[in-house]
Amino acid sequence: MSRKREKTEDITDFNSLLRKQGYSLAGRHSAVKTCLWLRRSMQDEGSCYKAAFYGIESHRCLQMTPTLMCNQKCLHCWRPTEVDVPLPVEWDSPVEIVGSCIESQRKLLSGFGGSAPKERWIAGNDPKHVAISLSGEPTLFPYLPELVEEFKRQGFTTFVVSNGTNPKIMERINPSQLYMSLDAPDRDTYEKVCNPVSAGLWERIGRSLEILREKDTRTVIRITLIKGVNMFDPEGYAEMIRKAQPDYIEVKAYMHLGFSRKRLPREAMPSHEEVLDFSGKLATLLGYRIADDVEISRVVLISKDGTVSHIV
């Protein structure tokens, strides 16, 4: 068997690939994964930029998704978008998902029991924040509003990251903080960058931006900049963002990780200085101001008044 064929078969065996990449499957269709910053925070060696921006305790953050399915095949996505994820035969209930995810997180953290400071390990086993943003598009889970409320009921602060292609669900969810990705200033760039799998998604994104404007919860627009691909036309981005009037805008560099390395060159990663420059132009156009930045993550936070308040 050729090496090329072996690699293809590794990718198509999706569940084995997920486990190899450090995912823990939770129930029939959800998944949990510990990130680099959770592992560092567990050892008291630093925290995610969300700690600086929003007050998150990284070692108590549960990163999960209720579905690995997605309706876009983005160039910059680090997962194997070339592999389709099947629709589950039956959906787990929100109560089942929350329980399964907490159990999976504790299994993933069990290896830190002998090396992490005891107080941090104990705290990490009692997660306080949930980032519903791991992989896939969470709004494709039909019971996402109920899942958000179940996490809230169990004392979590809730963060949802969506691509905005399902405005009906966007209308119904009210997490502690609602993110929406915006990775193109126009339709042509969107189709090139995000490779939508069905028609009409760009129009749905426009509707979701309007929905964000009406939300009572905190809202964030997230832009992932890819050098030579979508890192241009700040005026176009500003025109789109004005529809949403978000509380914050996160502008982040594409990182050359995972399966995105098969689609994009390393040179597609902008430097932190380039992200800062683009963010400054965007902020000026919108009448916003740069509130903070974290160089190691190449991310800049923009807010209406140049300040940020911790959510917890």
Domain ranges of the chain: 21-303
Number of continuous H segments (helices) and E segments (strands) in the chain? 12, 10
Query: DSSP assignment, residue 215?
Result: -
Asked if residues 42 and 116 have their Cβ atoms less than 8 Å apart, the reply is yes
Average confidence (pLDDT) over 231-237: 98
How many CA within 13 A on the CB side of residue 8?
Answer: 5
pLDDT at residue 308, rounded to an integer: 87
pLDDT, greater one: 24 or 148: 148
CA dihedral 234, 219, 99, 10 (to 10 degrees): -10
pLDDT in tens, 176-214: 999 999 999 999 999 999 999 999 999 999 999 999 999
Picking from 70, 74, 216, 206, the residue whose alpha carbon sits closest to that of residue 140 is 70
pLDDT, greater one: 110 or 200: 200
pLDDT in tens, 245-264: 999 999 999 999 888 999 99
Band (16; pLDDT cuts 50, 70, 90): low
User: Under DSSP, is residue 51 helix (H, G, I), strand (E, B) or coil?
Assistant: helix
pLDDT at residue 1, rounded to an integer: 36
- CATH number 3.20.20.70 is the correct assignment for the domain at 21-303: yes
pLDDT at residue 120, rounded to an integer: 87
pLDDT in tens, 111-134: 887 788 888 888 889 999 999 987
This model's pTM is above 0.85: yes
Band (21; pLDDT cuts 50, 70, 90): low
Q: Is the pLDDT of residue 95 over 70?
A: yes
Q: 290 forms bridges with which residues in the sheet?
A: 302
Q: Of 30-39, 99-108, 143-152, which gets the smallest average pLDDT?
A: 30-39
